[in-house]
A and B are shown apart, each in its own frame.
Chain A
């Protein structure tokens, strides 16, 4: 009997202790309670989601997202710029679709799990984080819908193997449903989030700003899109035109919420000083305390860096990695601005009334009164950067100048320059090795130190170089790949004003009159123009064309990876890029006259841009369709 008791005791002991041990969670795997019970845990979770957020920043190009090698810059795809490495229209060459859903799962998991641990925090904290997660989800769905139209709508954690593969193969939702889902998520975020958060994270105003962007996009699709694709009863491509005003109104209301919360950056601005206006616009991209910054992504060397400076500095400021001048603004872009002589058709006037070139003492003379925002966005030939005059010269004209120099090649020609009377250089080494002796005995290199070089394209192929976002204080020794760490401003107040102006203009054009929309659009445009140092609109009635609003956007937000999406949502890119060759401005030095002249012409590299209308809705990756046959492909692929 006693023995039996002992045996029983022993058995029970073994059983219970053993069982308890087996119940222990594996100590080398981070568990939900480790993450969700502490603020640092939540912060770490958020950091991961933010790092995967589809922000189209310094590491975005048609090659990829969060990709370091930025040699196919997006501005060279929109007519903003030319680049030696991107010579024609392209769509994105990577598949965002697959990158989005793991991100959405992480966010859904957060939304589902946090409430179980809510008793560790104050009610406000929980609301704030849930709001933030909804903001992040909306941001991700916006990146999907603007590329693909309607996509599968996943608003919960999908459980495999509890649910079968067949049940989890979701079809595409209608495009309208996705836009509405984004609006709902952002409304939740606006309602639940606080007004403050860490830099680089969202607050309620960020959610409102994103809402103005997304709803403006949705309204534009409703108004301008012609493509229609149905999956059963669901319109997966296209939004009913009747929804346009609803979305424009939502964009307008969301933008209005930011009134007084943010303001345009004017720290060193002066109403009377163009130089100050120029400097102010340069500084706007570098002041961490700018009241204009709404949502930013920070970089910090060496943990997280990019190579924007290395890829885009003018040739003469090139760093040791050997990259430079990938973004060369087109003359078409420069001609959007005012402040230099123009022909009746809006093109730059560099010829006199006899059709001969106007001669200038230097290449900056014609731009002396140019709009400050232009100088701050673009390095004009001969302008100063990092203390150096950026020398951009196509070549030296050695022919006679008496009686005027007539146009070297016709305006509409892409043919090369004649070789007689013109000295040029194929690359920098050759340029430095073969200086030309001027009539007065001085030596001058045929091309400028920053181009144009006929062979290797490392210089300013358009006659201009980009200035926006180039760090003005970075030493040339530090102009390296993965060495730059300036902050990317994903949403700034100027964009919100432009969203407001565009939505208001569209509402006014559609005959909506519950607000004085045209007046609001007028005020917003003039705020932007005043800060830019541009000519103001005199009256609201002058705002009589949607292109006034759109061009303001193109000028203000150039080189910020936004314009491609704008041109797409306006559905005008196929008309703008239809065998299109962009214009360039080539400065020459006339040796006999000792003066410069400027030749406006078509890109002599003959880079032709044709936007394929199918790209308004990008191709859904075939691998996605083979995994989920319920997903139907977009038209034309």
Chain B
């Protein structure tokens, strides 16, 4: 019996002492990285989708290793980003999305362009990337609600956002996205309302005003969020987007 008590006490002692008060010996990740990805010409944020195939920020913590495992997070759909749980350190920061890539190589792998940034993240660090979008997609006028058949018609236009011939692949399609929420894009859309127009070869009407109509009836008395996206056949086939427009149906 006594033996058992001693054993129990020893176990308890071991359990208590082996438990450290700190979780680990690293400071918590509490630095903040904010910033935006903007069009180098207009200074406006590059519209993208939230998550999925949207703009993604890549961090390589060079103060940890020369070849660290990359850390990724996504920007918001207006091209801004904000992450307040980052370890203090020296980083290489880059972004990838529907714009001319920051890191380019020639056919044999030599780096020809490297616009990635190296910086210390300490406190609140702001970083801005000026890039050339593949396409500029913009609204032409306001969306029109067709009361007769409860559809919505929009007009938009897309033009090349870069003069770099390596990123002027054919435009494959343009899409009118309709959603019930302000998050709208290729990954958040109502399928029965959204409309896609595909182009084969290089037949896409660059620079012309195009008219798109939702593919089914919209419900009465509710809000819809509209956006037009177009894409070229490059990389992950990211879409470039217009801003989001809200449509209230009476």
The chain A residues found within 8 Å of chain B, CB to CB, are 226-228, 230-235, 240, 412-414, 574-575, 578-579, 581, 606, 608, 612-614, 625-626, 629-630, 633, 635-636
Contacts and interface: CB of A to CB of B under 8 A. Distances in A.
B235 A635 contact: yes
A629 B69 CA distance: 8
A127 to B, nearest CB: 38
A9 to B, nearest CB: 56
A608 B235 contact: no
A218 to B, nearest CB: 17
A228 B105 contact: yes
Given A227-B235, A412-B215, A579-B196, A232 B109 contact: yes
A409 to B, nearest CB: 12
A240 B108 CA distance: 9
Nearest to B70: A633
B69 A625 contact: yes
Contact of A240 (B67, B107, B189): B107
B191 A613 contact: no
A579 B67 contact: no
B162 interface: no
A574 B237 contact: yes
Interface string B36-63: 0000000000000000010000000000
- The 5 A-B residue pairs with the shortest CB-CB distance in the complex, in nearest-first order: A230-B109, A233-B109, A230-B105, A613-B237, A613-B236
B67 A614 contact: no
Interface of B: 53, 65, 67, 69-70, 105, 107-110, 169, 172-173, 189, 191-192, 194, 196, 198, 215, 233-237
A612 B236 CA distance: 8
A635 B236 contact: yes
Nearest to A233: B109
A123 B151 CA distance: 78
Contact of A233 (B65, B108, B215, B237): B108
Q: In the complex, which of the residues A231, A233, A633, A636 has the most CB atoms of chain B within 10 Å of its own CB atom?
A: A636
B203 to A, nearest CB: 15
A635 B58 CA distance: 12
B67 A226 contact: no
Contact of A226 (B65, B108, B173, B234): B234
A351 to B, nearest CB: 21
A226 B233 contact: yes
B74 to A, nearest CB: 12
Contacts of A625: 69
Contacts of B234: 226
Which has the most chain A C-beta neighbours within 10 Å: B173, B191, B194, B198?
Answer: B191
Contacts of A226: 169, 233-235
Contacts of B192: 413-414
5 contacts: A226-B169, A226-B235, A233-B109, A233-B110, A579-B194
B109 A626 contact: no
Contact of A626 (B69, B108, B215): B69
B237 to A, nearest CB: 5
Contacts of A240: 107
Contacts of B65: 629
A231 B110 CA distance: 10
Given A226-B233, A612-B53, 7 more contacts: A230-B105, A232-B109, A233-B108, A413-B192, A414-B192, A613-B235, A625-B69
Contact of A234 (B109, B196, B233, B237): B109
A235 B236 contact: no
Nearest to A230: B109
A630 to B, nearest CB: 8
Nearest to B107: A240
Contacts of A613: 53, 235-237
A152 to B, nearest CB: 16
A579 B194 CA distance: 10
A575 B237 CA distance: 10
Nearest to A241: B107
Contacts of A231: 109
Contact of A578 (B108, B196, B233): B196
B122 to A, nearest CB: 26
Contacts of B109: 230-235
B167 to A, nearest CB: 11
B148 to A, nearest CB: 18
Nearest to A235: B109
A146 B223 CA distance: 46
A616 B169 CA distance: 18
Contacts of A412: 215
Contacts of A575: 172, 198
Which interface residue of A231, A234, A629 has the most chain B CB atoms within 10 A? A629
Contacts of B194: 579
The winner among A579, A626, A633 for most chain B CB atoms within 10 A is: A579
A574 B172 CA distance: 11
Contacts of B198: 575
A442 B198 CA distance: 51
Contacts of B172: 575
Nearest to B215: A412
Nearest to B68: A629
Contacts of B235: 226-227, 613, 635
Contact of B236 (A230, A614, A629): A614
A636 B105 contact: no
Contact of B67 (A233, A235, A629): A629
Contacts of A630: 67
A352 B115 CA distance: 62
Nearest to B233: A226
A232 to B, nearest CB: 6
Contacts of A629: 65, 67, 69
A612 B108 CA distance: 27
A227 B101 CA distance: 13
Contacts of B67: 629-630
Contacts of B189: 579
